[in-house]
Amino acid sequence: MTVSVLVVDDSGFFRKRLTEILNASGSIKVVGAATNGREGVEMAEKLRPDVITMDYEMPVMNGIAAVKEIMRRCPTPVLMFSSLTYEGARVTLDALEAGAVDFLPKNFEDIAKDGSELQRILRERILDVARSSPRAGRGHAAPSSPRPAPASPRPAAAPPGRREPAVSRPAPADTQAPRQEPEAPPRPSRRRTASRHYDVVAIGTSTGGPIALQKVLVNLPANFPAPLVLIQHMPGSFTPAFAERLNKLCRIQVRQAEDGDMLRPGLALLAPGGKQMMIENRGGQGRVRILPGDDRLNYKPSVDVTFGSLARSFPGKTLGVILTGMGADGKEGSRMMKQTGSVIWSQDEKSSVIYGMPMAVARAGLSDEILSLDEVGPRLVEGVH
């Protein structure tokens, strides 16, 4: 079984090049090409592809409007193509909030150094997106403006919201992409770890993470009692815009981390893209170290690197949370934290866009709690003091 793809882009050259690359893989077939967003919506309804690739700037209907319409009419995993600029980041984040699953740079030179690497990256990303749940975790839209201050400093935890069921698609059977482990995932644990003080709360995520982090962090009051560090797989040109977006939506403060930043309650520091973030302990005070990205590591920033540094700097005093994302980044860092007595939560399969990172942690027996995305924010309010 091959993965069917609809390409939506107003550039004839890009449509032709992308079609050639994807069709050459053998496991992917481009079944249609649209020249604008409106045509893309109509072809999505007619062709019912497994994945849609989407440009932003197009005549008649732009990419964000097209994604919203597709999610309303026939929810389908969408991979956005965008420029690696501040404006490109802003537009891409809007597209992710509209329902897109993931994104790639539109300039192929930004993706890979040579043709074979480019084909591999595009193919793997399409296959991963095909396995995603396009509506997972998107049952409630996040607010578009900052929430009003809560009446009390610690609002009561709200019951989990009801989410719209995810539209699932069978994974391709004959592809060569890395397969998930065959055994069934663990059943969600409803046990609750006792409320306690943590010196740091660390949240790691990848695909689906921008919206997942947004949904979690808007629940936190301005006087949240612990410092937070956020690790999201994202290019360096995107993290400043993402931090600004979160800061506008949340009651806590959010900004991109800089070398030498001190951790403090009510402040969330986002790891800069393309680099590694480590946390040091200076006399009980957490301090950020930003280091150059190491080419030997696949992820920059890496959840394993930050979590590993927390295991050394704040043993037994950290809460680690692993949200949606492909791959297994965060598993070894979570293991190091657990060995010191720290606590690990992971997102459940149903609410994950890609159940890779949280699955790796859960199947390794490292999750103290397995939570739906709607539960994570309220649990942080309830379980951290």
Q: Are residues 225 and 312 in the same domain?
A: yes
Residue 67 included in any domain:
yes
Q: Are residues 11 and 126 in the same domain?
A: yes
φ/ψ of 152, rounded to 5, equals -120, 155
Residue 292 host element (H or E): strand 285-292
Q: Are residues 206 and 303 in the same domain?
A: yes
Are 334 and 216 contacting, i.e. CB atoms less than 8 angstroms apart? no
Residue with tokens 């939570």: 371
Average predicted confidence (pLDDT) for the chain: 86
Q: Are residues 9 and 90 in the same domain?
A: yes
Q: Are residues 233 and 118 in the same domain?
A: no
Domain count, the chain: 2
The pLDDT > 90 percentage for the chain reads 72
Domain boundary residue, one of 104, 130, 156:
130
55: which strand partners?
none
Three-state DSSP at 359 gives helix
Per-residue pLDDT tens digits for 315-333: 999 999 999 999 999 999 9
Q: Are residues 218 and 322 in the same domain?
A: yes
Which of 206, 309, 342, 346 is catalytic? The answer is 206
Which of 10, 329, 348, 374 is catalytic? The answer is 329
Domain boundary residue, one of 130, 165, 191:
130
Which of 128, 233, 309, 342 is catalytic? The answer is 233
Per-residue pLDDT tens digits for 338-368: 999 999 999 999 999 999 999 999 999 999 9
Q: Are residues 122 and 209 in the same domain?
A: no
> Out of 105-119, 193-207, 260-274, which region has the weakest mean confidence (pLDDT)?
105-119
Residue 98 included in any domain:
yes
Q: Are residues 375 and 242 in the same domain?
A: yes
Domain boundary residue, one of 100, 130, 160:
130
pLDDT at site 311? 98
| 40-53 mean pLDDT | 97
Per-residue pLDDT tens digits for 82-128: 887 888 899 999 999 999 999 998 877 766 666 778 888 899 999 99
Residue 139 included in any domain:
no
Residue 45 included in any domain:
yes
Residue 56 per-residue DSSP state: S
Q: Is pLDDT at 225 greater than 50 in this prediction? A: yes
Does residue 233 carry a catalytic annotation? yes
Residue 166 included in any domain:
no
Domain CATH code at residue 212: 3.40.50.180
Mark residue 306 as left, alpha or beta (left: phi above 0; alpha: psi -120 to 50; beta: remaining). Answer: alpha
Domain CATH code at residue 118: 3.40.50.2300
Q: Which two tokens stand for residue 264?
A: 């403090």
Q: Are residues 260 and 374 in the same domain?
A: yes
Q: Regarding predicted confidence, which is higher, 185 or 384?
A: 384
Q: Are residues 17 and 126 in the same domain?
A: yes
| 255-269 mean pLDDT | 98
Q: What residues make up the domain containing 339?
A: 200-383
pLDDT at site 294? 76
Query: Residue 109, exposed/middle/buried by CB under 10 A (0-12, 13-18, 19+)?
Result: exposed
Q: Is pLDDT at 282 greater than 50 in this prediction? A: yes
Residue 318 included in any domain:
yes
Q: Regarding predicted confidence, which is higher, 26 or 311?
A: 311
Residue 316 included in any domain:
yes
Residue with tokens 């991979």: 79
Q: Is pLDDT at 172 greater than 60 in this prediction? A: no
Does residue 206 carry a catalytic annotation? yes
Are 93 and 245 contacting, i.e. CB atoms less than 8 angstroms apart? yes
The pLDDT > 70 percentage for the chain reads 83
Nearest Cα residue to 128 out of 24, 212, 3, 8: 3
User: Strand 3-8 to strand 51-54: parallel, antiparallel, or no bridges (unpaired)?
Assistant: parallel
Residue 211 included in any domain:
yes
